[in-house]
Amino acid sequence: MNLSTIDLVIIGSYLAASLFIGFWISHKASQNMQSYFLGGNRLPWYVLGISNASGMFDIGGTMWLVSLLFIYGLKSVFIPWVWPTFNQIFLMIFLSMWLRRSGVMTGAEWILFRFGEGKGARLSHITVVIFALFSVLGFLAYSFVGIGKFAAVFLPWELSSDPHTNEIIYGLIFTAITTVYVVKGGMFSVVITEVVQFLVMTIASIAVGIIAMMTVSPDMLAKVTPAGWTDLSFGWVLEIDWTEQLQAANDRIANDGYSMFSIFMMLVLFKGILVSLAGPAPNYDMQRILSARSPQEAAKMSWFVNVVLIFPRYMMIAGLTVLALVFFVDELRLMGVDADFEQILPFALNNYIPTGLLGLVIAGLLASFMSTFAATTNAAPAYLVNDIYKKYINKNADDKTYVYASYVVSIAFVFIGTFIGLWVPSLNDVILWLVSALWGGYTAANVFKWYWWRFNGFGYFSGMAVGILTAIPLIFIDVNPLYGFPVLFALSATGCLVGTLMTPPDDMQVLKNFYTKTRPWGFWRPVLEELQKADPNIQPNTDFKRDISNILVGVLWHTSLTVTPIFMVIKDWQSFGISAICVVASSVYLKFFWWNKLDDEPSSSTSSFDEAAHYSESS
């Protein structure tokens, strides 16, 4: 691709600025572990929200979403529920506050807060560290594949005559640049650079959407899309037939396994609700929640992620898709059975974004890779250094030693994740394994931990161990992990129940401490009764019905936010108006029944809370 001088200057300036920020901010990050991994809990919720949104605005995911919208039309907005994307609603309504009340540094450290210091708790602690590191490596490999595919198309230099080797070399270059500023700056560097990156991405996204609106008319779009492409509703089967336009799209639908769309959606909802109830996986999303200044700010941060991420991202996705539908179908036909739908995004940018703006857009998409990669890389040492090295190997080292150890761990994981990325065939394969197989093995144990008092450390360990060991073989066999999720969940849940019921309950004092500080709803009556013996005034969490109502409204709000920019770009003004009204109405509802009800501490007597805090400190 031939980039103009001004495009190259914009891209180079952005990369230089990212490195500068990492080195400039490093003195703050290197003060201690709290500063390096959580930013000293001094970053405001809206800054953390922009940072978290930036980390989710990745190249690989954007390429995947563009290909989904191209093939499945408006129904594609439901497919990312496989992550599930609506888990942010569960977080903002209640789980972010519950998690932040713990005051811990990592998800593995939270396990000890929940289960205590017994053998079962320590086994569970190690299991979470292993899961977190598997997750980090998977996302690093996923990011490496995405940046290689993207940069090889957009940057003008042919570094190798072999296209795949060219992708690898570019992936290595941008991985190295990102690693430098992450390792030097820690969480401060990640957050500050991600705010800058997000501003670049937002400008680029809105510009792409506007260009598509100016270039493609509704009549032009209707001529190149099958019947039902603009419909959100669906029946038992998908009812989108690409035979006349592009047979390769029909083949992709068949290979994805989404033809029976109602069955697919049942599985997605079954999985999505359970995964959302389990809370965040131990990755950069959890680190942002733990970095918040208070539980209220953690909830607001999770809300703000949706606000700032969805609209600009889907303006870009819709804009690129519309341009590709009208102008790229002929090229895809020529590819035949080898049609690569992940090349839709590069094609649209390469041909329809003007000089100057193209440099900004490419810088923005490079930023999206760097922010995802940076956030993931920052999560790895938090678990290995804080939860293994500091806890079991070198307990009394000074802060500098732990920070330097974090440098080493970050670099090592980048090397390993990159090596794995060399062998990954496609982005879709990585996404499906991460969100369906690996997280499928994570789900059962992490649902039980919040809502059932009797669930203990041995149950958590056995459930997680069964889940992870069952998920690993799905990397090597040709089975869609989504359809394997019910089996994964059932096996893991069985491991949870067997491990729990064959061993005694956890120490009641540990459970009282956890319940007093966190105050979850669920099956906690025996613990509540023990607390009420000392303080009859302590009350259970009675917010279950309100939280569930807020979740239902929140999912409507989230979905409306997603489809509104798509309807705007394709100029379906009637549907745009309906979705915009849904956004406003659901926002008003959430203002009164969620935002106004946020509280840093659960309702409890001062004496009970102080007793729990004293126990936590003494233990």
Closest CA to 460 of 138, 100, 119: 119
Predicted local distance difference test score (pLDDT) of residue 116 = 93
Helix, coil or strand: residue 535: coil
Over residues 138-154, the pLDDT tens digits come to 777 777 776 777 677 77
Average confidence score pLDDT of the chain: 81
Closest CA to 132 of 288, 299, 280: 280
For residues 434 and 138, the answer to whether their CB atoms sit within 8 Å is yes
Q: What is the mean pLDDT of residues 49-75?
A: 82
In the chain, pLDDT over 70 holds for what percent of residues?
A: 81
Residue with tokens 């569970």: 124
Predicted local distance difference test score (pLDDT) of residue 205 = 87
Residue 125 banded pLDDT, cuts 50, 70, 90? confident
- Tell me the CB-side half-sphere exposure of residue 144, using CA atoms within 13 A: 29
Closest CA to 461 of 444, 445, 476, 484: 445
More confident residue, 498 or 399: 498
Closest CA to 148 of 384, 369, 385: 369
Predicted local distance difference test score (pLDDT) of residue 174 = 76
Q: Which residues, in sequence order, are CB contacts of 610 under 8 Å at separation 6+?
A: none
Helix then strand then coil, in percent of the chain rounded to 5, is 80, 0, 20
Single-letter amino acid, residue 311: F
Largest Cα–Cα separation, the chain: 76
Distances (CA, A) of 400 to 152, 345, 381, 412: 39, 43, 14, 19
CA-based end-to-end distance of the chain: 61
pLDDT of 131 strictly over 90: no
Predicted local distance difference test score (pLDDT) of residue 119 = 92
More confident residue, 557 or 605: 557
Residue 560 banded pLDDT, cuts 50, 70, 90? very high
Residue 402 banded pLDDT, cuts 50, 70, 90? confident
Residue with tokens 């900004």: 360
Residue 614 banded pLDDT, cuts 50, 70, 90? very low
More confident residue, 106 or 22: 106
pLDDT of 58 strictly over 70: no
Q: Which residues, in sequence order, are CB contacts of 457 under 8 Å at separation 6+?
A: 111, 115, 116, 118, 119, 120, 121, 122, 123, 124, 506
Predicted local distance difference test score (pLDDT) of residue 569 = 96
Over residues 361-377, the pLDDT tens digits come to 777 777 666 666 766 77
In the chain, pLDDT over 90 holds for what percent of residues?
A: 34
Q: Is the dihedral of CA 491, 493, 494, 499 positive or negative?
A: positive
For the record, the structure tokens of 240 come out as 């989108």
- List the Cα angle 232/94/134 in 5-degree steps: 80
Q: What is the mean pLDDT of residues 447-465?
A: 95
Kindly give the residue spans of alpha helices, DSSP state H, lying in 394-453.
399-421, 427-432, 439-451
CA–CA separation, 187 and 320 (whole Å): 32
Kindly give the residue spans of alpha helices, DSSP state H, lying in 542-605.
544-569, 573-593
CA–CA separation, 224 and 435 (whole Å): 32
Over residues 323-343, the pLDDT tens digits come to 989 988 888 888 777 777 767
Predicted local distance difference test score (pLDDT) of residue 606 = 37
Lowest mean pLDDT among 14-28, 83-97, 113-127: 14-28
Over residues 340-364, the pLDDT tens digits come to 776 777 777 777 778 888 887 777 7
Alpha-carbon dihedral angle through residues 129, 455, 268, 301, given to the nearest 10 degrees: -60
- Tell me the CB-side half-sphere exposure of residue 509, using CA atoms within 13 A: 10
Single-letter amino acid, residue 347: F
CA 2 centroid distance within chain? 34
Predicted local distance difference test score (pLDDT) of residue 447 = 96
Helix, coil or strand: residue 238: coil
Long-range contacts of 177-180 (CB under 8 A, 24+ apart): 177/15, 177/18, 177/19, 177/370, 178/18, 178/369, 178/370, 178/373, 178/374, 178/377, 179/377, 179/410, 179/411, 179/414, 180/19, 180/22
Residue 52 banded pLDDT, cuts 50, 70, 90? confident
For the record, the structure tokens of 46 come out as 């809206």
Over residues 93-115, the pLDDT tens digits come to 999 999 999 988 777 789 889 99
DSSP state of 225: S
Q: Where do the domains of the chain lie? A: 5-98+117-256+292-424
CATH topology of domain 5-98+117-256+292-424: Sodium/glucose cotransporter (1.20.1730)
Over residues 285-306, the pLDDT tens digits come to 787 898 899 999 999 999 999 9
CA–CA separation, 494 and 463 (whole Å): 7
CA–CA separation, 446 and 279 (whole Å): 7
Residue 390 banded pLDDT, cuts 50, 70, 90? confident
Closest CA to 503 of 469, 460, 452, 442: 460
Predicted local distance difference test score (pLDDT) of residue 460 = 95
Q: What is the mean pLDDT of residues 243-254?
A: 87
Q: What is the mean pLDDT of residues 123-144?
A: 78
Distances (CA, A) of 616 to 99, 117, 242, 385: 16, 12, 61, 22
Predicted local distance difference test score (pLDDT) of residue 430 = 57
pLDDT of 11 strictly over 50: yes
Predicted local distance difference test score (pLDDT) of residue 271 = 87
Residue 26 banded pLDDT, cuts 50, 70, 90? low
pLDDT of 36 strictly over 50: no
Closest CA to 611 of 533, 523, 555: 533
Predicted local distance difference test score (pLDDT) of residue 473 = 74
Predicted local distance difference test score (pLDDT) of residue 596 = 95
- Burial readout 113-123 (b: 16 or more C-beta within 10 A, e: otherwise): bbbbebebbbb
Peptide bond into 504 cis (omega under 30): no
Helix, coil or strand: residue 523: strand
Over residues 184-208, the pLDDT tens digits come to 555 555 666 677 778 877 888 898 8
Residue 616 banded pLDDT, cuts 50, 70, 90? very low
pTM: 0.83
Q: Which of 42-51, 122-131, 460-469, 549-558 has the highest mean pLDDT?
A: 549-558
